[in-house]
Amino acid sequence: MSEHDGGAVPNPPARPRAPRPSRGTLVIARDRCKGCELCVEACPPRVLTMSSSLNEMGYRYPELGPGCTGCTACQMVCPDFVFSVYRFTPAAH
Ligand code: SF4
Ligand code: SF4
C-alpha cells in the first residue's frame, strides 16, 4: 500500500509512555482510608490506583505508582487525612 493508491496508511503502534521520574512521594495511612477514590480523580499525573486488597476497615485504599510530582492534590482532597506528601529536593552540585 502507498500514499498514491487511496488506501489508509495505518498508524504506527503507540509506544508505551515511560513513567516520568518521581519528584515526590507519599506516606499512605491506608487504614484511615474509606475508599472514596477522590484522590485517584484529583491526581494530575494519575499515579494513584486503588488496591485490590482491603484495609482493616474493609475498604480498598490508594497505592502510589511512579511519577508523583509532590503536588499535594491528594492530600488536599482526602477527607480522612490519609496522605503525607514529601517533595524530593534536587541534589546540590
Ligand atoms: S502528590 Fe500529587 S502527584 Fe503525588 S500522588 Fe498526590 S496528587 Fe498525585
Ligand atoms: S481520598 Fe482519602 S479516603 Fe478517599 S480513597 Fe483517597 S485516601 Fe481513601
The residues with which 50 forms a beta bridge, in sequence order, are: 62
Q: Compute the Cα dihedral for 14, 16, 18, 19 and give only its sign.
A: positive
- Eight-class DSSP state of 84: E
Does residue 13 fall inside a structural domain?
no
Does residue 8 fall inside a structural domain?
no
| Ligand 2 interacting residues, C-beta cut-off 6 A | 33-39, 61-62, 77-78, 80, 82
Residue 5 in grid coordinates: 493508491
Does residue 7 fall inside a structural domain?
no
User: Using one digit for the tens of pLDDT, what is the confidence trace for 17-68?
Assistant: 676 789 999 999 999 999 999 999 999 999 999 999 999 999 999 999 999 9
User: Using one digit for the tens of pLDDT, what is the confidence trace for 32-43?
Assistant: 999 999 999 999
Residue 73 and residue 48 in contact, taking contact as beta carbons nearer than 8 Å? no
pLDDT beyond 50 at 87: yes
* Ligand 2 centroid – CA 5 distance (Å): 55
Residue 76: give the domain boundaries: 24-87
Question: How many structural domains does the chain have?
Answer: 1
Classify strands 83-87 and 24-28 as parallel, antiparallel or unpaired: antiparallel
